[in-house]
Amino acid sequence: MNNPENASITEQELREKINQVFSIYDIQHADGNIYFFGTPKEDIKIIFQKLWPLLSEKGFQFTIKYDLGEHILVASPLLPAKERLWINYVLAIATIFTTMIVGSLLFGGHPDISAADIMKGLPFTIAIMAVLGSHEAGHYIVAKKHGMQTSLPYFIPFPNMIGTMGAVIKHRGPIPNRKALFDVGISGPLIGLIVSVIVTIIGLLQPQLPQATQGLKIELGTPLLFELINRIIPTGDGMMMHPIAFAGWVGMLVTALNLIPAGQLDGGHVLRAMIGEKAKEASRVIPFILISLGFYVTYVLDRDGFIWVLWGIFLSFFAAAGHPKPLDDDIPLGKGRMALGVITFILGLLSFTLVPFQMG
């Protein structure tokens, strides 16, 4: 049962915030909404920019309408979107299963012959789910901190070399300001990369496995960050990369791909927050750079550069869709966030490799 005293306190708090930009002369209630009648002190766009983050902190969304000669600001409870959580759970369980099959193969198991061998892949599953899950958890936690509506991660099971296509979360509603855009965009890659480094170190410390002599061989290109760790913790010659270290390698590749500063990738969000509308130019140019890089690697270096062609085509559609504009696009990030953005892009370069994988 609602407490009338708490309701009056909330209304008073809203009134104080709204009165800063919207001079209120009457308040009415209907259907759980609060109607503030008044006169705008500033442009409606500015009112949205200033009030949205303040009201969302109190659990309200709002609209402003002009009806019968009066401006009305309608504050409505910000109800969480109805999530079909069973989908998240089913996809997560399916991804655990598909990654365990891949992990079993990496550890030399034969899950096609013995179902019990699937359990051999559990260490790889734990490592890869930690890498991918931490990335999305970073986005989720920071988005919630900024009062944004976002879903739990959707893991994507897929029969490929790691057993998954990663994970995604869905954001709903507007982005409050550039700081929120920056924080949400940068949190996933940074947290995911930290976990990837930890997983890589754990993997390199494990007893190494002998190189497979039969079957499909895949030559992995290691980024500079992985090489630096590998120099501190060297592996034996003729040994294959340990599956747990491979999960760390995957995390670095995911970081590099996501930090490409284009479209609605994490790097696109971060760059948009850092330089504003100028980021559109990068979103237009980078897909062509990637496609050109792919052709260069394929036809000049005679290596497998298809991933960059595919990623460039993929990004060209994202770039065409544009980037959502924060409600408050004028608040500067500050020197701290700008420096962190530059450092993060450098880490993305350290996680990059020209030829991630080559079929043997």
- What is the spatial distance between Cα 173 and Cα 193, in angstroms, rounded to a whole number? 28
- Position 128 scores a pLDDT of 96
Q: What is the pLDDT of residue 213?
A: 41
CB-CB contact of 208 with 240 (8 Å) = yes
Residue pair 101/94 in contact by the 8 Å Cβ criterion: no
For residues 225 and 351, the answer to whether their CB atoms sit within 8 Å is: yes
Q: What is the pLDDT of residue 80?
A: 65
Contact 324, 175 (CB under 8 A): yes
Contact 235, 276 (CB under 8 A): no
The pLDDT, as a whole number, for residue 144 is 85
> Which amino acid is present at 179?
K
Q: What is the pLDDT along the chain (360 residues), one digit of tens a residue?
A: 444 444 455 778 888 888 888 998 988 888 778 889 999 988 887 888 778 777 777 778 788 888 888 898 888 887 666 778 889 999 999 999 999 999 998 888 888 788 888 999 999 999 999 999 999 999 999 988 887 878 889 999 988 889 898 888 888 777 888 888 999 999 999 999 999 999 999 999 988 776 654 444 678 889 999 999 999 988 766 567 889 999 999 999 999 999 999 888 899 999 999 998 888 888 889 999 999 999 999 999 998 888 999 999 988 887 666 677 787 777 788 899 999 999 999 999 999 999 988 765
Q: Which helix (H) or strand (E) holds 124?
A: helix 122-145
3 state SS of 147: coil
Q: What pLDDT was estimated at residue 177?
A: 82
Comparing CA positions, the residue from 37, 29, 212 lying closest to residue 107 is: 212
Neighbours of 15 (CB within 10 A): 16
Predicted confidence at residue 171, as pLDDT, reads: 80
In the numeric block, the tokens 């500067």 are attached to 332
Identify the pLDDT of residue 215: 43
Annotated domain spans of the chain: 4-77, 85-359
pLDDT at 217: 64
Q: What is the pLDDT of residue 107?
A: 87
Angle between the N-to-C axes of helices 122-145 and 85-106, in degrees from 0 to 180, rounded to the nearest 10: 140
Q: Which CATH class is domain 4-77?
A: alpha beta
What the block records as the tokens of 102 is: 């891949």
Query: What pLDDT does 4 receive?
Result: 44
Q: What are 288's two structure tokens?
A: 């062509």
285's CB contacts (< 8 A; 6+ apart) are: none
| pLDDT score at 74 | 87
Per-residue model confidence (pLDDT) at position 234 = 82
DSSP run (H or E) holding 157:
strand 154-157
- Beta strands (DSSP E) in 305-349 are none
pLDDT on residue 214: 43
The phi, psi pair for 20, rounded to 5°, reads: -65, -30
Q: What does the block give as tokens for 50?
A: 């200033």
Compute the distance between CA of residue 112 and CA of residue 118 in angstroms, rounded to an integer: 9
What is the DSSP pairing of strand 33-40 with strand 60-67?
unpaired
